[in-house]
Structure 1
Amino acid sequence: MNKLVIALCAFAMLTAASCDGSGSKATADKKFPRKNILWFDATANFKRFSYKDSVIYYLKKSKDAGVTDVVIDVKPITGEVLYPSKIAPVMQDWDGFKKTENFDLLTVCIEEGHKLGLVVHASTNVFVAGHNFFDRGVVYSDSTKRSWASLNNTPDGLKPITSIKKKYSSMLNPVRRDVQEYELSILKELIGMYPKLDGIILDRVRYDGIEADFSNESREAYEKYAGHKVANFPDDIYKYEKEGDKPVRKEGVEFKKWVEFRAKVISDFIWEARKELKAINPKISYGDYTGSWYPTYYEVGVNWASKEINAKDYFDQATPEYNKFGYAEALDLYTSGCYYYEVDKSESKHIDKNNKERTEAGQHKGTADFYTVEGSNELAVKLMNGKAPMYGGLYVDQYNGHPEQFVRAMKMCQKKSDGVMIFDIVHIINNNWWNELKEGFKN
């Protein structure tokens, strides 16, 4: 009996050690590699990284600060690319600056990064091909691709996203096969051109938001999936009704099935892209970058959780079939934007949701625990369910003027996930926060 009691106690202690307070799988067992990731945005750093010596300088600065992995953005939201593609247009200028030095940014990052011991990933913005603020990009310059832009169901009726100038990203319609094939061709070209690249991280593999996409192509694809015609489109998905002077979205009879359908579209693409890219380079790390606000992330058509997670536990719009379209199992790396100023869960009670600006796609106002760095990390790790490493992502500009809060947020990501992803190096440079970066990377 004493041996049995001792054994049960030992098992209980091991079980407790494998979970954090939220019940999510902890990462203290070092199942996944610890990483300190730093993102290099394409347009924000375009001029700075148009000079080879500058690229090498900042790779060294990053390494000295404790960075283990760099992510080089080579396909910004315009749909142009920063490498010599034969498919996508190559970005030669940005914000009045024209590149003059002739060198391949990604080749330099790979070669010089590897000399320093850095792991080098490339990132691409997938279902987007234009910048609405500048009327620039593939959907603006290529007449054959203008119809690819999302058609949004707004309070003012159906509108192409290129006409909605408050939105800076000209998002595409992910359901279209020609869009999918075009984006896959760019990804395959990229992986084939750079065999020494360590990883690829996909960004914006999603819909624009709940308003997208209401084109004829989407209606036909949905009706085929649902197995019936939609009697009143788009009202049976949702419609707007006035409450006072404010239009309010009212869900229709098809809404939940529509949510499920959109999740399948994105999940299918994630799995297809993995298969195609691994066929070219089986060793490539296949990653994804999304927002952390899972209870509302269905609005952009994405279920980044494990298939074993019951989404109904997190939001009412989930159907039983929705769980099948989780894609954590497809990933080798996942980074989640834990984009909140408040660090500890205890700080959530101080959030004034009436004054809190949250403008990322699908992001709502609120004071739940997951609206903090700690809570969002815990939730993301739990939803990954041990299928892929999760690296908590921080948007540096949210801590502008508060370097101590930035360091606290970094340390929280280190504590609650497999490491930290910093977006973006431009803010570290502009704030001269290299010492803060180094401090935050310390375990």
Structure 2
Amino acid sequence: MNKFTTSVTALLTVLVLSMCSKPQATSFVAPSAQANTNPMGNTKGRNLLYFDATANFKRFSFQDSIKYYLAKSKDAGVTDVIVDVKPISGEVLYPSKIAPVMKEWGGFTKTEKFDLLSAFIEEAHKLGMTVHASTNIFVAGHNYFDRGPVYNDPAKKDWQSLNYTAEGMKPITTLKHKYSAMVNPALPEVQKYELSVLRELVSKYPKLDGVVLDRVRYDGIEADFSDASRKMFEQYIGKQVANFPADIYTYSKDRKSEDGKPVRVPGPLFKLWIEWRAKVIHDFIYEARAELKKINPKLIFGDYTGAWYPTYYEVGVNWASKEYDPSQTYSWATPNYKNFGYAEALDLYTTGSYYFEVDKKEAANIDVNTVNRSEAGQTRGTEDWYTVEGSAEMAMKITKGKVPVYAGLYVEQYKGHPEQFVKALKMCRAKSDGAMVFDIVHVINEGWWAELKRGLTE
């Protein structure tokens, strides 16, 4: 999710705090509505809590710890737990025959022999809680540790995103300010692999209630500018691109943005490029839903994205309803862009309302020079949707009631401000169908169990 990832040790916490098959994706035609009624049951008043894989690797390598923290979560008002089983390293936390299995992280090697996800499912179900498995999709390596399939598997090295930067074309593994080694979502071999991992997961755990996909997106506006992407884009528009990548955008030699970087200047095909990328993601979402529902029709099919919709086109994602037309409001959207909204494909949607400011009126106090907005697609601004209230309202508005929406918080943003955290939780519940909390590690570190309970139950 494009949530912040933290780690087990203090050193790793500092490092990762930034923190989260069709042969042709563009040929897939999605249905306009869901085939099944929502399996979530009563969607109002649910509260979701994430259990990050790496931040909690040591803690949840012991069954008694899983049991203990699930009970504390239940007491605090949590109804649903989201267990991260495929972090950004591309490894998984369950016995897989497809993906590499994470057995060590941060210098700690798991020795207790048990299946983590099975333990979560069994213990949570005893408490009447719902269990979702979270999987990071279009990422296959951790750039801070040079770890993961794009680093370790020669067959997957060329899957990594090729980014068009002001300094030229750069493989993402060379861009060490980015912690996620994202891959190219348009590559058929990437989609085939990720779908196989998802199918294995759902088949292996028939008692699993749901999945929540994360990072079903491009790295950012700079991605992906490989020759493969160019050819697929040309196929989509029905003609060759005369000047690639200049016809998509160029970098100004004279103009600088507020952060001192060269300004991107859109080319004649920029909007169509944005449209095509949204279709790539849209088609994958629908195909993943269809594949997993074949295995378990009752599976809750969910997705996480950031809440900053006005700029989320930069990562190739349109999480709105098809009934919402962004071209009426935003200059970057074509009239056709609305066709690639995918809210209708979801049973659950959780969005990162990752802002310290809670009420819309607090937007007037935002200092753009100090805000921490390092997530993909985030920009600096003072509009009211840069608040918990405003972003939650926007999410409800543009999803058009097609899917239950759970506004989410990044707990670390409220460090030193417990009352603001409580206030934000209550706002998530008031303005959406419930609250999502990322991550339990921060609740534990801050000792905010009482605050969590107040925010989720009062």
Q: 1:182 aligns with which of 185, 190, 193?
A: 193
CA distance in 2, matches of 1:151, 1:295: 24
- Cα offset, 1:242, TM superposition: 1.9
- Cα offset, 1:442, TM superposition: 1.5
CA distance in 1, matches of 2:285, 2:44: 23
CA distance in 1, matches of 2:149, 2:298: 31
Q: Check if 1:172 corresponds to 2:187.
A: no
Q: Check if 1:196 corresponds to 2:207.
A: yes
In structure 2, the CA distance between the partners of 1:354 and 1:314, relative to structure 1 (3 Å rule), is farther
Q: 1:351 aligns with which of 366, 384, 391?
A: 366
Residue equivalent to 1:131: 142
- Structure 2: tracts of 5 or more residues without a match: 1-40
- Cα offset, 1:315, TM superposition: 1.9
Q: Check if 1:318 corresponds to 2:344.
A: no
CA distance in 1, matches of 2:449, 2:263: 45
Superposition pairs of residues 10-159 of structure 1, within 5 angstroms: 32-159=43-170
For the residue of structure 1 that corresponds to 2:336, the secondary structure is: helix
Instruction: Percent identity, please.
Output: 66
The answer to whether the 8 Å contact 1:132/1:165 transfers is: yes
Residue equivalent to 1:10: none
Q: Cα RMSD (Å) of the superposition?
A: 1.0
For the residue of structure 2 that corresponds to 1:394, the secondary structure is: strand
The answer to whether the 8 Å contact 1:37/1:67 transfers is: yes
Task: In structure 1, give the amino acid aligned to 2:133.
Answer: A
Task: In structure 2, give the amino acid aligned to 1:334.
Answer: Y
Write the deviation string for residues 182-208 of structure 1: whole angstroms up to 9, x where unpaired: 000000000000000001000000000
Residue equivalent to 1:329: 344
User: Which 4+ residue blocks in structure 1 deviate beyond 6 angstroms?
Assistant: none
Task: In structure 2, give the amino acid aligned to 1:251.
Answer: P
- Cα offset, 1:32, TM superposition: 3.1
Residue equivalent to 1:423: 438
Q: Check if 1:391 corresponds to 2:406.
A: yes
Task: In structure 1, give the amino acid aligned to 2:323.
Answer: E
CA distance in 2, matches of 1:202, 1:110: 18
For the residue of structure 1 that corresponds to 2:177, the secondary structure is: coil
Residue equivalent to 2:265: 250
CA distance in 1, matches of 2:282, 2:425: 30
- Structure 1: tracts of 5 or more residues without a match: 1-29
Q: Check if 1:279 corresponds to 2:290.
A: no
TM-score when normalising by structure 2: 0.89
Write the deviation string for residues 119-165 of structure 1: whole angstroms up to 9, x where unpaired: 00000000000000000011000000000000000001001000000
Q: 2:454 aligns with which of 426, 439, 442?
A: 439
CA distance in 1, matches of 2:322, 2:43: 20
In structure 2, the CA distance between the partners of 1:338 and 1:200, relative to structure 1 (3 Å rule), is same
Q: 2:312 aligns with which of 297, 302, 324?
A: 297
Residue equivalent to 2:244: 233
Q: How many residues align?
A: 414
CA distance in 2, matches of 1:434, 1:357: 25
Q: 1:369 aligns with which of 380, 384, 388?
A: 384
The answer to whether the 8 Å contact 2:326/2:333 transfers is: yes
Residue equivalent to 1:163: 174
Q: 1:400 aligns with which of 397, 400, 415?
A: 415
- Cα offset, 1:31, TM superposition: 7.3
Residue equivalent to 1:22: none
Q: Check if 1:412 corresponds to 2:427.
A: yes
For the residue of structure 2 that corresponds to 1:320, the secondary structure is: coil
Write the deviation string for residues 45-68 of structure 1: whole angstroms up to 9, x where unpaired: 000001111111111111111110
CA distance in 2, matches of 1:120, 1:313: 38
Superposition pairs of residues 212-227 of structure 1, within 5 angstroms: 212-227=223-238
TM-score when normalising by structure 1: 0.92
Task: In structure 1, give the amino acid aligned to 2:225.
Answer: F
For the residue of structure 1 that corresponds to 2:373, the secondary structure is: coil
The answer to whether the 8 Å contact 2:212/2:301 transfers is: yes
- Cα offset, 1:354, TM superposition: 2.9
- Cα offset, 1:244, TM superposition: 5.6
- Cα offset, 1:353, TM superposition: 1.6
Deviates more, 1:240-249 or 1:391-400: 240-249
The answer to whether the 8 Å contact 1:295/1:314 transfers is: no
Write the deviation string for residues 54-107 of structure 1: whole angstroms up to 9, x where unpaired: 111111111111110000000000100000000000000001111111100000
The answer to whether the 8 Å contact 1:69/1:120 transfers is: yes
For the residue of structure 2 that corresponds to 1:336, the secondary structure is: strand
The answer to whether the 8 Å contact 2:255/2:263 transfers is: no
